[in-house]
């Protein structure tokens, strides 16, 4: 007996070594012919290491990368580490190690785990956002933004996490809580660096529809909503007996004749301005103090009771009918959106309706939608304008146009576009981030560090725990903070805030193209050769944060001539989560985490890879199943055993057709991220082959090629055993014939037996009658040899399978 056992540990070690030794995955500086840039969202190396859910996306990109290699592309498929930021720092604090050491250790562990999968990464291009040679360029980009006025200081109240002791961007909040630790966020005025992302709001929105973007609609929609473009008008409401006025923002100016009062946000500056005129000022101040304790979420929740206090002694004037309306302060109006003030139309706005009911305010209908009344709440749809002077009888949209015109002509307001998206609060009061490369000079003010002095290296310190003061721990390191001004040489202090964890990931895809360039962020020719990223794969949780920030920076880099594409990522796919076997999220807490190292040592990396590809539709959440891995492992065992059936025979017609269909299906399935059906299609071919006593070499070769992107080690081994001298990945993807693959419908094969023995095989066109098939069988030359001169006792036809002749 031969030893038929497939030993993945041995095979995988051998091929990983071979691939390394032959630099199989070294990416050329310049693509040879067609290029394909395929990118994974790089991980932040956490202390826990990888669980089996993490590599699902990496496996998918590796399958596509190998498929593209086999199709003659120069493939760039790099990997690196997003290692700055809160998670790394919090881990370090908890485990009492310096973040630098923690990151080094975790990176080494991640890399060791990833290497076991046999991925196509070119490790010569590895990047680490915490490497000064990398963040030199992150700082450089910041400086360019600052020079262009896109980075500015602000003292506005910002989201403050009392537990992480740092400010957070709106994008870092989940349901109004810290996305990292779940703490309630408070608002705190602090000096901050802010990036003017709103300058790019329109381009970020409209370019979602450009040819450069081919993303899943779900993610595009999330970005649209996050950007939140709103078209409306601003209207000046004058204050009676005063020179003051306030502006309201509304998308429904057509309802203005139904406005019965106005509401301003607790943070509105009008309140202080009118202090002398407001009769119940202390009551108002009490209300404001209460409102300040609430989070934005608590204030905007639809179900929450709407509250407010009237500003007694204040009346505003509706410019359309010169009517006096009462003015309230109410915390359902946000200071940070629009103008921080609204005209309230309780008949047509639900929040206003609720508020009006509560405080017994007039509800006046100004839109008719055909009979329906307001018993059950506001009528919020468009309709026909009524009781609105000259505008009565117009449709809502027509009225909006004419009213906006009127406002503009009379200097009382006009069209206005607002965005939900805010500018990006870009500084953090933490240690583990890129230092912001600016100094504060007594004489010159804020001065940028010249490019020749970059990077500003993060000083190595013993104590890096965050402080409550709103100052970064860097502020305590006086010999680092005190420096000289690059402009005048006088004494200056370094900026001590650091960048958020999303800085380094805004442009890393560019650095992979030219990772060692010391003179510029990226070489211009290389950028043209490789950009954009053809396929980007990662978690859906990045739909609004990373993907928006990176697009923003990319557009800025486009504007200053660093890149030539408008968008960084052409096609985008999100990975569905892998849940634990018990259906819950994999977590240490539930003790249900599966470690890929264990799976690989039990069943092999090829089984693990192929299983993750096979387990279900790529973007869906799916539970892990160890039995599933075992099933896939058996499939690989069978592919292995098939090598002993190879013979130099011609492929029979039926199998040949199936083979062509399989090539066609696997090719399009890989292109379309249907890895699961690609694998099951190969399994069907495999079953057919197993039924044969011998298998044609040609067919087996093709099966190996199709399987190679999924199970690269075993296929390279079997390829070598077929007598090939070079890696299977130096070969090329099998071709299929459309006409053979499509034969299914119009041709089928039947076997002809004489006295129970197979003597011929015939190709029959669909629609041929039973009689004709029998006639063809009898007429066949091969059959004639066995029947000529004999009496035919019986002919049996089994539909689409066989003609059996008894003589």
Residues that bind ligand ANZ (CB under 6 A): 230, 249-252, 255, 265, 333-334, 337-338, 340, 342-343, 345, 348-349, 418
- For residue 178, give both structure tokens: 């810290």
Q: How far is the CB of 332 from ligand ANZ (least distance, A)?
A: 6
Which of the choices ligand ANZ, Zn ion, none does residue 444 contact, using the CB cut-off of 5 to 8 A by kind?
Answer: Zn ion
Which of the choices ligand ANZ, Zn ion, none does residue 255 contact, using the CB cut-off of 5 to 8 A by kind?
Answer: ligand ANZ
487 binds Zn ion (CB under 5 A): yes
Strand, helix or coil for residue 431: coil
CA–CA separation, 89 vs 474, rounded Å?
Answer: 14
Q: How far is the CB of 456 from Zn ion (least distance, A)?
A: 16
- Select 346 or 628, whichever has its Cβ closest to ligand ANZ: 346
Which of the choices ligand ANZ, Zn ion, none does residue 285 contact, using the CB cut-off of 5 to 8 A by kind?
Answer: none
Binding mask 438-477 for Zn ion (x = CB under 5 A): ---x-xx---------------------------------
Q: How far is the CB of 487 from Zn ion (least distance, A)?
A: 5
Which of the choices Zn ion, ligand ANZ, none does residue 613 contact, using the CB cut-off of 5 to 8 A by kind?
Answer: none
Strand 438-441 and strand 445-448: pairing? antiparallel
Which of the choices Zn ion, ligand ANZ, none does residue 79 contact, using the CB cut-off of 5 to 8 A by kind?
Answer: none
Region at 180 (left for phi over 0; alpha for psi -120 to 50; beta for the rest): alpha
Q: How far is the CB of 249 from ligand ANZ (least distance, A)?
A: 5
CA–CA separation, 528 vs 553, rounded Å?
Answer: 18
579 binds Zn ion (CB under 5 A): no
488 binds Zn ion (CB under 5 A): yes
Strand, helix or coil for residue 571: strand
Query: What residue spans of 54-187 are helical by DSSP H?
Result: 55-70, 86-94, 99-115, 132-147
Contacts for 473 with CB less than 8 Å, ≥ 6 apart: 430, 431, 461, 463, 464, 465, 466, 467
Region of 351-359, 479-487, 497-505, 652-660 interacting with Zn ion (CB under 5 A)? 479-487
Q: How far is the CB of 195 from Zn ion (least distance, A)?
A: 24
- Select 264 or 629, whichever has its Cβ closest to ligand ANZ: 264
Query: What residue spans of 570-674 are helical by DSSP H?
Result: 596-603, 605-614, 626-641, 653-671
SS (H, E, C) 62-75: HHHHHHHHHCCCEE
Which of the choices Zn ion, ligand ANZ, none does residue 250 contact, using the CB cut-off of 5 to 8 A by kind?
Answer: ligand ANZ
Q: How far is the CB of 474 from Zn ion (least distance, A)?
A: 20
- Select 342 or 404, whichever has its Cβ closest to ligand ANZ: 342
User: Which residue among 52, 107, 485, 622 contacts Zn ion (CB under 5 A)?
Assistant: 485
- Select 57 or 319, whichever has its Cβ closest to ligand ANZ: 319
Largest pairwise CA distance in the chain: 124
- Select 18 or 251, whichever has its Cβ closest to ligand ANZ: 251
Which of the choices Zn ion, ligand ANZ, none does residue 487 contact, using the CB cut-off of 5 to 8 A by kind?
Answer: Zn ion
Region of 264-272, 348-356, 487-495, 547-555 interacting with Zn ion (CB under 5 A)? 487-495
- Select 196 or 252, whichever has its Cβ closest to ligand ANZ: 252
- For residue 260, give both structure tokens: 């019965």
Q: How far is the CB of 347 from ligand ANZ (least distance, A)?
A: 7
- Select 16 or 418, whichever has its Cβ closest to ligand ANZ: 418
CA–CA separation, 3 vs 77, rounded Å?
Answer: 37
Q: How far is the CB of 436 from Zn ion (least distance, A)?
A: 17
- Select 62 or 349, whichever has its Cβ closest to ligand ANZ: 349
Which of the choices ligand ANZ, Zn ion, none does residue 706 contact, using the CB cut-off of 5 to 8 A by kind?
Answer: none
CA–CA separation, 238 vs 317, rounded Å?
Answer: 5
- Select 248 or 642, whichever has its Cβ closest to ligand ANZ: 248
Which of the choices ligand ANZ, Zn ion, none does residue 801 contact, using the CB cut-off of 5 to 8 A by kind?
Answer: none
Q: How far is the CB of 219 from ligand ANZ (least distance, A)?
A: 21
- For residue 22, give both structure tokens: 């032959």
Which of the choices Zn ion, ligand ANZ, none does residue 348 contact, using the CB cut-off of 5 to 8 A by kind?
Answer: ligand ANZ
Which residue, among 488, 493, 501, 476, has the nearest Cα to 164 in the 3D structure?
A: 501
Q: How far is the CB of 254 from ligand ANZ (least distance, A)?
A: 8
Q: How far is the CB of 626 from ligand ANZ (least distance, A)?
A: 49
Contact 173, 204 (CB under 8 A): no
Q: How far is the CB of 273 from ligand ANZ (least distance, A)?
A: 18
- Select 119 or 355, whichever has its Cβ closest to ligand ANZ: 355
CA dihedral 150, 492, 496, 153 (to 10 degrees): -30
Q: How far is the CB of 244 from ligand ANZ (least distance, A)?
A: 19
CA–CA separation, 265 vs 309, rounded Å?
Answer: 11
CA–CA separation, 31 vs 530, rounded Å?
Answer: 8
- Select 458 or 485, whichever has its Cβ closest to Zn ion: 485
Which of the choices Zn ion, ligand ANZ, none does residue 488 contact, using the CB cut-off of 5 to 8 A by kind?
Answer: Zn ion
Which residue, among 98, 100, 94, has the nearest Cα to 48 in the 3D structure?
A: 94
- Select 138 or 318, whichever has its Cβ closest to ligand ANZ: 318
Q: How far is the CB of 145 from Zn ion (least distance, A)?
A: 21
Name 193's bridge partners.
153
Which of the choices ligand ANZ, Zn ion, none does residue 626 contact, using the CB cut-off of 5 to 8 A by kind?
Answer: none
491 binds Zn ion (CB under 5 A): no
Q: How far is the CB of 492 from Zn ion (least distance, A)?
A: 6
CA–CA separation, 171 vs 451, rounded Å?
Answer: 30
**Block residue for tokens 């660093």:** 562
Strand, helix or coil for residue 167: strand
- Select 137 or 257, whichever has its Cβ closest to ligand ANZ: 257
Q: How far is the CB of 491 from Zn ion (least distance, A)?
A: 8
Burial code (b: 16+ CB inside 10 Å, e: under 16) for 123-145 equals eebbbbbbbeebbbbbbbbbbbb
Contacts 24+ apart (CB under 8 A), 800-804: 800/748, 800/750, 800/764, 801/750, 801/751, 802/750, 802/751, 802/752, 802/753, 803/750, 803/751, 803/752, 803/753, 803/762, 803/773, 803/774, 803/777, 804/752, 804/753, 804/756
- Select 258 or 576, whichever has its Cβ closest to ligand ANZ: 258
Region of 97-105, 320-328, 400-408, 481-489 interacting with Zn ion (CB under 5 A)? 481-489
- Select 213 or 265, whichever has its Cβ closest to ligand ANZ: 265
Region of 22-30, 330-338, 485-493, 572-580 interacting with Zn ion (CB under 5 A)? 485-493
Q: What DSSP designation does 395 have?
A: B
Burial code (b: 16+ CB inside 10 Å, e: under 16) for 763-796 equals ebeeeeeeeebbebbeebeebeebbeeeeeeebe
What stretch of H or E contains 530? helix 524-530
CA–CA separation, 73 vs 234, rounded Å?
Answer: 54
- Select 323 or 690, whichever has its Cβ closest to ligand ANZ: 323
17 binds Zn ion (CB under 5 A): no
Calculate helix-pair angle for 697-707, 712-721, nearest 10 degrees: 160
Region of 47-55, 435-443, 515-523, 678-686 interacting with Zn ion (CB under 5 A)? 435-443
- Select 249 or 635, whichever has its Cβ closest to ligand ANZ: 249
- For residue 653, give both structure tokens: 């017609």
- For residue 713, give both structure tokens: 């080690």
Give the interface with Zn ion as residue ranges (CB under 5 A): 441, 443-444, 485, 487-488
């Amino acid at each position: 007996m031969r030893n038929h056992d497939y030993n993945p540990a041995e095979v995988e070690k051998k091929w990983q070594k071979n691939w390394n030794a032959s630099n199989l995955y070294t990416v050329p500086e310049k693509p040879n012919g067609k290029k394909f840039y395929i990118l994974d969202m790089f991980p932040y190396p956490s202390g826990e290491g990888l669980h089996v859910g993490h590599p699902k996306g990496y496996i998918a990109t590796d399958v596509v990368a190998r498929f593209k290699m086999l199709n003659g592309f120069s493939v760039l498929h790099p990997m690196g580490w997003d290692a700055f930021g809160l998670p790394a720092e919090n881990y370090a604090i908890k485990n009492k190690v310096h973040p630098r050491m923690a990151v080094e250790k975790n990176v080494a562990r991640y890399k060791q785990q990833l290497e076991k999968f046999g991925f196509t990464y070119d490790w010569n291009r590895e990047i680490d956002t915490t490497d000064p040679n990398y963040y030199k360029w992150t700082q450089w980009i910041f400086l360019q933004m600052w020079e262009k006025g896109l980075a500015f200081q602000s003292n506005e109240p910002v989201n403050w996490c009392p537990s992480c002791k740092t400010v957070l961007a709106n994008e870092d909040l989940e349901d109004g809580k810290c996305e990292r630790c779940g703490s309630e966020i408070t608002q705190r005025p602090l000096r901050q660096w802010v990036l003017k992302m709103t300058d790019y709001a329109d381009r970020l929105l409209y370019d979602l529809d450009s040819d450069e973007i081919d993303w899943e609609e779900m993610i595009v929609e999330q970005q649209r909503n996050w950007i939140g473009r709103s078209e409306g008008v601003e209207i000046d409401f004058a204050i009676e007996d005063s020179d003051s006025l306030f502006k309201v923002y509304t998308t429904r100016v057509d309802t203005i004749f139904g406005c019965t009062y106005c509401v301003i946000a607790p943070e509105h500056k009008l309140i202080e301005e009118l202090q002398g005129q407001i009769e119940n000022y202390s009551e108002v101040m009490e209300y404001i103090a209460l409102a300040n304790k609430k989070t934005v979420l608590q204030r905007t929740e639809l179900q929450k009771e709407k509250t407010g206090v009237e500003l007694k002694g204040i009346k505003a004037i509706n410019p359309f009918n010169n009517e006096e309306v009462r003015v309230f302060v109410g915390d359902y109006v946000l200071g940070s959106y629009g103008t921080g003030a609204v005209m309230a139309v309780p008949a047509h706005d639900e929040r206003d309706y609720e508020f009006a009911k509560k405080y017994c305010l007039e509800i006046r209908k100004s839109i008719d939608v055909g009979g329906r009344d307001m018993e059950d709440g506001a009528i919020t749809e468009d309709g026909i304008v009524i009781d609105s002077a000259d505008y009565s009888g117009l449709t809502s949209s027509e009225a909006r146009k004419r009213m906006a015109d009127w406002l503009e002509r009379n200097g009382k307001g006009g069209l206005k576009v607002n965005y939900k998206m805010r500018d990006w609060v870009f500084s953090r009061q933490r240690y583990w981030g890129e230092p912001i490369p600016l100094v504060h000079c007594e004489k010159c003010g804020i001065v940028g560090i010249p490019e020749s002095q970059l990077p500003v290296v993060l000083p190595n310190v013993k104590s890096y725990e965050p402080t409550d003061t709103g100052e970064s721990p860097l502020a305590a390191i006086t010999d680092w903070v005190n420096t000289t001004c690059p402009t005048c040489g006088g004494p200056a202090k370094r900026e001590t805030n650091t960048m958020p964890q999303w800085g380094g990931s805004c442009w890393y895809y560019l650095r992979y193209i030219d990772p060692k360039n010391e003179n510029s962020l990226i070489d211009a020719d290389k950028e043209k050769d490789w950009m954009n990223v053809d396929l980007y794969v990662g978690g859906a949780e990045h739909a609004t944060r990373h993907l928006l920030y990176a697009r923003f920076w990319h557009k800025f880099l486009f504007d200053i001539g660093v890149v030539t594409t408008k968008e960084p990522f052409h096609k985008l796919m999100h990975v569905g989560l892998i849940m634990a076997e018990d259906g819950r999220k994999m977590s240490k807490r539930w003790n249900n985490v599966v470690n890929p190292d264990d799976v690989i040592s039990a069943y092999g990396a090829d089984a693990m890879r192929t299983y993750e590809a096979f387990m279900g539709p790529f973007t869906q959440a799916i539970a892990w199943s160890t039995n599933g891995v075992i099933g896939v492992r058996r499939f690989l065992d069978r592919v292995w055993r098939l090598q002993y059936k190879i013979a130099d025979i011609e492929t029979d017609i039926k199998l040949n057709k199936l083979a062509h269909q399989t090539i066609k299906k696997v090719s399009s399935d890989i292109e379309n991220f249907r890895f699961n059906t690609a694998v099951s299609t190969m399994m069907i071919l495999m079953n057919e082959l197993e039924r044969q006593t011998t298998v044609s070499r040609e067919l087996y070769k093709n099966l190996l090629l199709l399987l190679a992107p999924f199970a690269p080690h075993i296929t390279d081994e079997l390829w070598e055993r077929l007598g090939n001298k070079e890696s299977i990945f130096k070969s090329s993807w099998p071709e299929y014939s459309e006409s053979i693959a499509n034969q299914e419908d119009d041709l089928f094969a039947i076997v002809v037996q004489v006295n129970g023995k197979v003597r011929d095989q015939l190709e029959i066109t669909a629609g041929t009658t039973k009689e004709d098939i029998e006639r063809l069988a009898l007429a066949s030359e091969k059959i004639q040899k066995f029947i000529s001169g004999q009496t035919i006792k019986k002919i049996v036809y089994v539909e689409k399978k066989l003609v059996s002749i008894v003589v």
